[in-house]
Structure 1
Amino acid sequence: MKFKKSLAMFAGISVIAAAGCGNDDGNDNGGDQAGNGETVTLDVWAMGEEGNRLGSFVEDFENEHDNIEINVQAIPWDNAHDNLLTAVASGNGPDVLQLGTTWVAEFAGAGAFLDLSEYADEYDVISNDDFFEGALDTTVYDDAVYGVPWYVDTRVLFYRSDILEEHGFSEPPQNWDEMLEVSLELADRGDGMYGYDIDQNDQLVPPIFAWQNGWEFNEEAAEENFADPAFREAMEYYHTFFAEELVQVTEGTPIEQGFEEGSKPMFSSGPWMVNILRDSAPDIDGDWDVAMLPGSERNASAIGGSHLSVFAETEHPEESLEFISYMSQPETQVEWFKETNTLPARQSAWDDEELQEDEKLAVFGDQLEEAVAPPVLSEWENVAQDLLSSLERINRGGADLDEELDNFQQQAERRLN
């Protein structure tokens, strides 16, 4: 989920929303009030495949709540950001919407969502510590709560266990030193062979390396975070995989193909890749596995996923929160996992037998305990994209690492201040 929008546009949106462009009675947001005994219709925006599945899934909720009907609008992720910008500017949006975790700061700052902390005494799903800590972190902006975690994802290490064993490694790498050792050995197999694969377009990869080295982002320190030795050492470690030709610099073979062929025997990815490999590469079934990402100070990864938020202009906050509460119950999250293969955000949901018995999925549950949320800052994605551009100049263009990271830090100062 990438986007580049100016702060000036967001400021303009905030002004428009504050000017009072709300919903009129009988407009999109839901028909009659619940208090008169008639049915309330909640408009729900859900994105991508979740939007396609949610309409039939909510039938049980409607059966349990005969005064609430759910009208799901499925929106492609490619259109979701612009649709939400339009909704905020006009004041005409859904009651409930699915929100990517990296969008919280941008749209909360524009006044798009209801502050749910005001309802915490009535709805125990708000800021409930049964959710993974990293997921809860991404619901908070400027001391207010703007969402309830719906599902989560994180990255783990996928590895060809058969190839590692052939080269004397009976288990996956457990730390940075072992990761380099294994990658060097596997890349030395010949031309076109690599030890690891790094998605150079993934904004989360460099911060993951930094978190693994003990780095923590302090909002008050702003751009000085990027002068932290833990951050600089992590970027140097990241660069080592390119300097030693352990990864493919150009796009090259798609990872599923490279993994099946063995040319790319290790990579990091999310839970969706488990079923992709089971379906697309059945010939290597039993020859690959997953493990927690190896680290230096900690085996950290990133936490992603989606929240459910309430649109600021809704006429039905209580009914909206009733629906969100239902979707956030552990048993509902287990059923949603079985329907969509998205991972539950509630830790207690992981006690489900199906999640426990699938050893690969259980690793994701362990990794979520060590998953870190990106900073909830409106400019974070732009800063992260700047970092990717700097690393590309280092890895592909031969730029000096220290000089390039100094330039990146100056650019981060302009964005953050």
Structure 2
Amino acid sequence: MKKRLISIMLVVVMTGGLLLGCGANAGRSGGKDENSITVLVESGSPAEALAKETASEFEEETGCKVIIDAVAYTGMYDKLSTEIKAKQAVHDVACMDVVWLATFAGAIEPLNDADTSDFLPTLEESGTFDGNLLGYPMWVNTKVLIYRKDLIPEEKVPKTWEEYQKLAEELKTDEMYGTTVFGSGSDAVCSFLDFACQAGAEGLVFDKDGNVNITDQAYVDALNFMIETADADYTPSDSLATASTESQELFTNGKTAMQLNWSHQYPAAVKALGADKVGCAPMIAGSAGVGATTGPWYESVMKNSENKEMAKKYVEFMYEHNADYMDLTLKIAGRTSVYDNAGKIEGNEHTTAVLETLEASQTQARPMVTTWSQIEEVLIGVVESSLGGDDVEEALESAKKQIEMIGK
């Protein structure tokens, strides 16, 4: 009986040890398959579409399964913040809006050995923080001039602020506005910064020494240009409620003759109105020349990834497939060779306009700072108050003090 009791106790101890061993091992791996990577993408975006299209090919090449986590734009930032603070490796790869890179820089694996020779202009600079390249570019967007080419002959396509305003006045009818002004949300900020570039801003919001520069004359001129255009009778009276989507709706419904809008709106306008009615051209120029602020996205490897080498292979793989973005809805990409080739195909004229805009010396990225979301809110207030009638210089002076308090 005593021997039998000892045998039972040994079995219990050994079984418990096996169970503890399994539990400890599961805790170390987090239950993650070593032959898989998880990729965070924006739901409904070209990133999600291309990730799904190429997942099986990547698995065939590497034996690694791609798990796609599609999240709405508004939830992506929060999701990344939560896992980074918890030091978890939920995602191996994440698609990132450029304005997030500085905030998450410490959690992103540098890709300093990447070949950047085919990056579109500005994309290496805007993807680099503290000397480290933080991702491969997926695509970049800038605003370009989109116009009714059945109403505007090629020789009259405006190239300067003055030509743009004059033509908008000429094109105005009882049924159609000449153009629009973006006065709402983040689109208003990007337009403000576009015009500041064109007016001679050297560094957006911060100068090369890190000082807040938004009281410089370039920003005064930019706001005054927006106010003059918004107050004219050739633009809708509700500029404070107008952004990219609203402007595009007016254009495709035949209610405005031209617009300065994100380049991806060109293919959509062609589809709505026909190639014979829609044209596009590079951004217009102010006193300092053509310029615009850029809107790139990057694909980054997360530093806490448990499968980092495979994650690096994946972002390289997706960069090799960058041309495939031109077959998707927005028709934008991140490589010079892709834009050069795409521009030769009818319907992709916007890529040539973007390339010329990116190559302009006054085209600049938004500042790589961790506090951009707070700064953007301040700038939204500047545009809205100025379009609403407040004194421009006072609005900029107040904003400068707020941004200095926020810091970088």
- Say if 2:290 is the partner of 1:299: yes
Please give the secondary structure, in 2, of the residue aligned with 1:162.
coil
Find the counterpart in structure 1 of residue 163 from structure 2: 178
Superimposed CA distance per residue, residues 333-363 of structure 1 (whole angstroms, 9 cap, x where no aligned partner): 11232245442211122343x4422334332
Give me the whole-angstrom Cα distance separating, in 1, the residues matched to 2:209 and 2:169.
37
- Say if 2:28 is the partner of 1:43: no
Find the counterpart in structure 2 of residue 287 from structure 1: 277
Whether the 8 Å CA contact 1:47–1:80 is kept in 2: the answer is yes
Calculate the TM-score normalised by the size of structure 1: 0.80
Give me the whole-angstrom Cα distance separating, in 2, the residues matched to 1:104 and 1:229.
29
Find the counterpart in structure 2 of residue 200 from structure 1: 183
Find the counterpart in structure 2 of residue 26 from structure 1: 29
Give me the whole-angstrom Cα distance separating, in 2, the residues matched to 1:416 and 1:245.
39
Find the counterpart in structure 2 of residue 210 from structure 1: 196
Shift of the 241–334 alpha-carbon distance from structure 1 to 2, 3 Å rule, reads same
Superimposed CA distance per residue, residues 193-251 of structure 1 (whole angstroms, 9 cap, x where no aligned partner): 43221221212110010111221214554454112222222222222112334422413
Find the counterpart in structure 1 of residue 100 from structure 2: 103
Q: Cα distance, 1:364 vs. partner?
A: 2.6
Find the counterpart in structure 2 of residue 366 from structure 1: 356
The one-letter amino acid of 2:337's match is S
Give me the whole-angstrom Cα distance separating, in 2, the residues matched to 1:43 and 1:293.
38
Match of 1:266 among 255, 258, 262: 258
Please give the secondary structure, in 1, of the residue aligned with 2:344.
helix
Give me the whole-angstrom Cα distance separating, in 2, the residues matched to 1:385 and 1:53.
32
Q: Cα distance, 1:408 vs. partner?
A: 1.7
- Higher mean alpha-carbon deviation, 383-392 vs 96-105, is at 383-392
> Aligned ranges for residues 373-388 of structure 1 at < 5 Å?
373-388=365-380
Please give the secondary structure, in 2, of the residue aligned with 1:129.
coil
> Aligned ranges for residues 83-162 of structure 1 at < 5 Å?
83-92=79-88, 93-108=90-105, 111-117=106-112, 120=113, 124-125=114-115, 128-162=116-150
- Say if 2:152 is the partner of 1:164: yes
Q: Structure 1: state its 5+ residue gaps.
A: 1-22, 33-39
- Say if 2:315 is the partner of 1:324: yes
Find the counterpart in structure 2 of residue 37 from structure 1: none
Whether the 8 Å CA contact 2:264–2:332 is kept in 1: the answer is no
The one-letter amino acid of 1:288's match is V
Please give the secondary structure, in 2, of the residue aligned with 1:72.
strand
Whether the 8 Å CA contact 2:293–2:366 is kept in 1: the answer is yes
Give me the whole-angstrom Cα distance separating, in 2, the residues matched to 1:146 and 1:402.
37
- Say if 2:395 is the partner of 1:404: yes
The one-letter amino acid of 1:183's match is A
The one-letter amino acid of 2:264's match is W
Shift of the 89–270 alpha-carbon distance from structure 1 to 2, 3 Å rule, reads same
Q: Cα distance, 1:386 vs. partner?
A: 1.4
Q: Cα distance, 1:55 vs. partner?
A: 2.0
Shift of the 159–336 alpha-carbon distance from structure 1 to 2, 3 Å rule, reads closer
Aligned Cα RMSD in Å? 2.5
Please give the secondary structure, in 2, of the residue aligned with 1:58.
helix
Please give the secondary structure, in 2, of the residue aligned with 1:163.
coil
Give me the whole-angstrom Cα distance separating, in 2, the residues matched to 1:362 and 1:171.
19
Shift of the 299–26 alpha-carbon distance from structure 1 to 2, 3 Å rule, reads same
Q: What is the identity percentage for the equivalent residue pairs of Structure 1 and Structure 2?
A: 21
Please give the secondary structure, in 2, of the residue aligned with 1:290.
strand
Give me the whole-angstrom Cα distance separating, in 2, the residues matched to 1:210 and 1:376.
17
The one-letter amino acid of 2:319's match is S
Shift of the 223–246 alpha-carbon distance from structure 1 to 2, 3 Å rule, reads farther
- Say if 2:262 is the partner of 1:242: no
Runs of 4+ residues over 6 Å off in structure 1 = none
Give me the whole-angstrom Cα distance separating, in 2, the residues matched to 1:234 and 1:372.
15
The one-letter amino acid of 2:200's match is G
Whether the 8 Å CA contact 1:334–1:349 is kept in 2: the answer is yes
Find the counterpart in structure 1 of residue 305 from structure 2: 314
Higher radius of gyration, 1 or 2: 2
